[in-house]
Structure 1
Amino acid sequence: MRGFEHLPPELRGAITGYLDHLAVERGSAGSTLDSYARDLRRYAEFLVGAGLSGLTEVGSAHLSGFLAELREGTEERPALAPSSAARALVAARGLHRFAHAEGLLAVDVAREVAPPSLPKRLPKALSVDDVGKLLDHAGGDDARGMRDRALLELLYSTGARISEAVGLDVDDVDGTGRTVLLDGKGGRQRLVPIGRPALRVLDAYLVQARPGLAARGRGSAAVFLNSRGTRLSRQSAWNALKTAARRAGIGGSVSPHVLRHSFATHLMEGGADVRAVQELLGHASVTTTQVYTLVTVNTLREVYAMAHPRAHASE
């Protein structure tokens, strides 16, 4: 079954039983089952090559050795990408967990071997020029258009999460002090500066457009209102961004979080301290914010490669 016929009976039975469990009881998709079968076949062949015929003989050192082979490769098989190696180890750990739950193993040794931590993906950020195009194409002259422009200006100017922006109440905006009070994750509030261009657009919306929208509702305190006079939803805010991106001719997936990433990345590239950016973003730990330093290093590396006279000098 699934190319496991050549394996020792005990090992073959455990693997096919696990795959059947995934298919029947877990309802895993065919593509998922194929991936698991491929990873488990490699795991089984590794065990056989180590002289083992069943899971009862496997120790945590074998799992660690399997992970090392995945990452380093062999003469017969190339090394896997970190994400693929992690997936294969997850499949092997799942097999041991299943066998233990079924009473086939007295101890689940795979619990002692954690999947490798994957490198952090760098946040996607728009260029400063693209942000400018996006904001220039946001909204229009009617009430809804003024609202959408104000919303996107605020998102980029403050780095607010979309939930924080639509959660703003009128009293949270201090035009004199040029700040907004954001309600972040875990009930944590933070006071964030807002730039003059964004504040001008926001003030225009609050004075000229919001009263008309508010008159259709029942006195909502929300800054951003929908056509019924109630608080704007996150989905509607997302749609406003997608519309602006389409008008500006910006390809790819442009989400509200991309504006937040752009806010942080542009601050770091401008020389802002990582601790200050942490406070502005409302991150509980600076570790979360430090990913933006990687973005900055990549930018500096590109500048260096283009500008330094000996960046490409032969050794």
Structure 2
Amino acid sequence: MPVSSTHAEALAAYLRHLSAERGLSPRTHEAYDFHVRVFLDFLEREGIADLAGVDRAVIRKYIASLAERQLDKAGVALRLSSIRSFFRYLAQQETVPRRGLWSKRSKEAKSLSPKLDVRLPSFLTTQEISTMLAAPDVTDLYGARDKALLELIYAAGLRVSEVVGLEVRHLDMGNKEVRVWGKGSKERIVLMGRPAQEALHRYLQDFRPQLLLDRPKTDALFLNRYGRRLTQRSVQHIVKEYALKAGLDAERVHTHTLRHSFATHLLDGGADLRVVQELLGHSSPSTTQIYTHITLSRAKTVYTAAHPMARKRALEAEDHASAMTMPVRQEE
């Protein structure tokens, strides 16, 4: 969509900044570009040529236009986030005035952002995880690879983009550590347990060399049948394949489900929230806190079932509800 030359120059400078400073994935970079471009097109239609004139009233009008297009709350929030990022950059360049409107956490910005419904991440129970991790045939070339892949994703709580980007040199097998690069190319060290260590050792020693026979050498950790790095789509397919073999609902199991399970099981085991935040690579504890909703919800269920006073009150509530719904006998 065309934008004015002035706006186009500002957008181009911002996108160069994102590429140079933020280390965003191509997909995220494209999303920022699209969201800002749509907003600039809106400004053109409104006759707003000066970006310095964008204020709360303009943003409110833009939100109303998105609502007319029946965009959901999450979609609106994403677009506002991209716009705020764009104007924060412009403010740093002194192209527009600094406003609380562009701050991530200001009351003004929060008052405009739609309140999102809390969506609890889906996760697997420890028994479901165990069944799924036991599904690959480790005597088979691809089964051994898939076993190592699944064990590592769950053991370290990796994103799919992180696991496909791994190289052999990123593994410290002796210390059971893995060096990964997460969102924004942020580097962190994650840990793995003995099952993942043993599965990786078996794959590296006995099976990975077979995938490289008569093929160009590569340091990519997980390889496909052609000796090339596994893609994100391939990993998602592998995860669903073993979810199906484990008798799980494959539609609800994704690579991120293993990551969610990793975080939930750590918190269930008493891990500190800050530690889980570091292991997941979250920049803010608020992102990690979503998992505490899961553990708290489960804790309430267990408490109600196990605590004698909670059981008594639950039964009394059930009796009261039954009495309220009993048919009333009419006098003859």
Write out aligned runs for 1:2-41 (5 A). Answer: none
User: What is the aligned counterpart of 2:130 among 129, 132, 153?
Assistant: 132
- What is the CA–CA distance in structure 2 between the aligned matches of 1:139 and 1:224, rounded to whole Å? 17
CA-CA distance at 1:140 after TM superposition: 4.2
Once the two structures are superposed, residues 47-101 of structure 1 have per-residue CA deviations (whole angstroms, 9 ceiling, x without a partner) of: xxxxxxxxxxxxx9xx9xxxxxxxxxxxxxxxxxxxx9x77xx8xxxxxxxxxxx
Structure 1 residue matching 2:308: 3-state secondary structure: coil
Structure 1 residue matching 2:257: 3-state secondary structure: helix
CA-CA distance at 1:114 after TM superposition: 3.4
Name 2:304's counterpart in structure 1.
305
- What is the CA–CA distance in structure 2 between the aligned matches of 1:272 and 1:216, rounded to whole Å? 46
Once the two structures are superposed, residues 264-307 of structure 1 have per-residue CA deviations (whole angstroms, 9 ceiling, x without a partner) of: 00001110011000000001111100101111101110110100
Structure 2 residue matching 1:204: 3-state secondary structure: helix
**CA 1:175–1:298: 2 relative to 1, 3 Å:** same
Does 2:256 correspond to 1:257?
Answer: yes
Name 2:240's counterpart in structure 1.
242
- What is the CA–CA distance in structure 2 between the aligned matches of 1:120 and 1:235, rounded to whole Å? 27
Bigger drift between 247-256 and 115-124 goes to 115-124
- What is the CA–CA distance in structure 2 between the aligned matches of 1:246 and 1:177, rounded to whole Å? 33
CA-CA distance at 1:142 after TM superposition: 1.8
- What is the CA–CA distance in structure 2 between the aligned matches of 1:263 and 1:115, rounded to whole Å? 30
Write out aligned runs for 1:153-302 (5 A). Answer: 153-251=151-249, 252-302=251-301
Structure 1 residue matching 2:112: 3-state secondary structure: coil
- What is the CA–CA distance in structure 1 between the aligned matches of 2:220 and 2:135, rounded to whole Å? 24
CA-CA distance at 1:119 after TM superposition: 2.7
**CA 1:112–1:308: 2 relative to 1, 3 Å:** closer
CA-CA distance at 1:216 after TM superposition: 4.2
Name 1:98's counterpart in structure 2.
none
**CA 1:113–1:150: 2 relative to 1, 3 Å:** closer
Does 2:112 correspond to 1:121?
Answer: no
Q: Is the 8 A contact 1:216 1:229 kept in 2?
A: no
Name 1:77's counterpart in structure 2.
none
Q: Is the 8 A contact 1:213 1:228 kept in 2?
A: yes
- What is the CA–CA distance in structure 2 between the aligned matches of 1:139 and 1:279, rounded to whole Å? 33
CA-CA distance at 1:151 after TM superposition: 0.2
- What is the CA–CA distance in structure 1 between the aligned matches of 2:150 and 2:214, rounded to whole Å? 23
CA-CA distance at 1:223 after TM superposition: 0.8
Instruction: Output the aligned Cα RMSD.
Output: 2.4
Once the two structures are superposed, residues 202-238 of structure 1 have per-residue CA deviations (whole angstroms, 9 ceiling, x without a partner) of: 1000000001112243111011011111111111111
CA-CA distance at 1:113 after TM superposition: 7.2
Structure 2 residue matching 1:192: 3-state secondary structure: strand
Amino acid in the other structure paired with 2:119:
R
Name 2:27's counterpart in structure 1.
none
Name 2:52's counterpart in structure 1.
none
**CA 1:140–1:197: 2 relative to 1, 3 Å:** closer
CA-CA distance at 1:116 after TM superposition: 3.9
- What is the CA–CA distance in structure 1 between the aligned matches of 2:216 and 2:194, rounded to whole Å? 31
Q: For structure 1, list consecutive stretches of 5 or more residues without a partner in the other structure.
A: 1-59, 64-83, 91-110
Percent identity, aligned pairs only? 43
Larger radius of gyration: 1
- What is the CA–CA distance in structure 1 between the aligned matches of 2:113 and 2:166, rounded to whole Å? 41
Structure 2 residue matching 1:181: 3-state secondary structure: strand
CA-CA distance at 1:115 after TM superposition: 5.8
Structure 1 residue matching 2:287: 3-state secondary structure: helix
CA-CA distance at 1:120 after TM superposition: 1.5
Q: Is the 8 A contact 1:138 1:240 kept in 2?
A: no
CA-CA distance at 1:118 after TM superposition: 2.1
Q: Is the 8 A contact 1:216 1:227 kept in 2?
A: no
- What is the CA–CA distance in structure 2 between the aligned matches of 1:149 and 1:220, rounded to whole Å? 21
Name 2:42's counterpart in structure 1.
none
Once the two structures are superposed, residues 143-193 of structure 1 have per-residue CA deviations (whole angstroms, 9 ceiling, x without a partner) of: 111111100000000001111111111010111111011111111111111
Amino acid in the other structure paired with 1:299:
R
Q: Is the 8 A contact 1:182 1:190 kept in 2?
A: yes
- What is the CA–CA distance in structure 1 between the aligned matches of 2:214 and 2:121, rounded to whole Å? 39
